[in-house]
Structure 1
Amino acid sequence: MRHEVTPDDTAAALGSGDVPVLATPRLIAWLEAATVRAARPSTGAGSTTVGTAVRVRHLRPTAVGGAVEVSAQAPADPTGRRLTFQVRAVDDSGELVATGEIERAVVDRDRFVAAAAGQVSDR
């Protein structure tokens, strides 16, 4: 998945810093989106995945107008409900921007949404 960095993607815009470069939270969101796509073969009817852990090293800045290609490698032999993805982002010059792991859990979608809704109504 290729993303071009816009002013809305910067640390200054997201409040995670005061510099006009790709914000780590935005980068992590893009990496998570790649894991969602990569997880699809591991989910059956009625199930989805939810993020449970993020370990990402943001290694170099990307300026507005620059682009990064994000990817997620699914586990070779997934077992159980936990999936650990190897993630990375590379800029247009071929330099590694980020690397890490993102874990997702396979859940029953309706049951998960109902549980979340119950938490909100209990407040």
Structure 2
Amino acid sequence: MEFNLNTGLKNKEEKTVTMNDTAKVFGSGAAEVFATPMMIGLMEGAAMNTVRNYLPEGYSTVGTMINVKHLSATAVGKKVWAEAELIEVDRKRLFFKVDAYDEDKKIGEGTHERFIIEEAKFMSKLK
């Protein structure tokens, strides 16, 4: 199946940092600041939703690689957001530039790879 995805597609996902989003609660650190795994999840969500509406019924994407830097800490209560841009399409392989920000600064940057899957076929392989 051919997918009509063009580079340059963009999306933004945002949230407000809660105690449940902190490194201390997540278990990835001792500080009560926005956890790196939560930032990565926000970046992946932004990338996934960039192409979601362009895929046929029954298709979605799965993350396969992420390479990011967490540049700066963010306090509980601050708004954070991730921006994703589709920068390359290689058949079913999609490459994204991802960046994350809080109200004051850039907090993360990197790249993310996702693959297009047929959901039913993908899930049937796990049974």
Larger mean Cα displacement after TM superposition, 34-43 or 23-32:
34-43
Alignment of 1:24-63 (within 5 A): 24-63=36-75
**More strand by percentage:** 2
Whether the 8 Å contact between 1:43 and 1:49 is mirrored in structure 2 is no
In structure 1, the gaps of 5 or more residues are 119-123
Q: What are the Cα deviations for residues 32-88 of structure 1, in whole angstroms up to 9, with x where unaligned?
A: 11111012254222211001001110000001011112111013x623010011001
RMSD between aligned alpha carbons?
1.3
Give the letter for the 1:106 counterpart. Answer: I
Q: Distance between the aligned counterparts of 2:37 and 2:67, measured in 1?
A: 12
Q: Does 1:3 align with 2:15?
A: yes
Give the letter for the 2:118 counterpart. Answer: D
The two structures have a TM-score, normalised by structure 1, of: 0.88
Whether the 8 Å contact between 1:10 and 1:64 is mirrored in structure 2 is yes
Among all aligned residue pairs of Structure 1 and Structure 2, give the percentage whose two residues are the same amino acid. 35
Whether the 8 Å contact between 1:73 and 1:87 is mirrored in structure 2 is yes
Whether the 8 Å contact between 1:21 and 1:61 is mirrored in structure 2 is yes
The residue number in structure 2 matching 1:85 is 96
Return structure 1 stretches of 4+ with deviation > 6 angstroms. Answer: none
The two structures have a TM-score, normalised by structure 2, of: 0.85
In structure 2, the gaps of 5 or more residues are 1-12
The number of residues matched between the two structures is 115
Q: Distance between the aligned counterparts of 2:120 and 2:14, measured in 1?
A: 31
Q: Distance between the aligned counterparts of 1:9 and 1:70, measured in 2?
A: 15
**More helix by percentage:** 1
Q: Distance between the aligned counterparts of 1:89 and 1:7, measured in 2?
A: 19
Q: Distance between the aligned counterparts of 2:42 and 2:108, measured in 1?
A: 11
